Amino acid sequence: MTSDTPDTDRTDAEADPAACSLCGTHIGAFGGEYCDPCARDIGAKEPLRTCLECGQRGPGEQMTSIDVSPPDEYYPEIKYLCRSCAEGDD
pLDDT (tens digit, 9 = 90+) per residue, 16-57? 778 888 888 888 776 678 888 888 888 888 888 999 999 999
Gap between the Cα atoms of 52 and 86, Å rounded: 10
- Contact (CB, 8 A) for 23 and 14: no
pTM of the model: 0.58
Evaluate if residue 66 carries a pLDDT over 70: yes
DSSP string, 54-85: T--EEEGGGSEEEE-S-TT-SS--EEEE-HHH
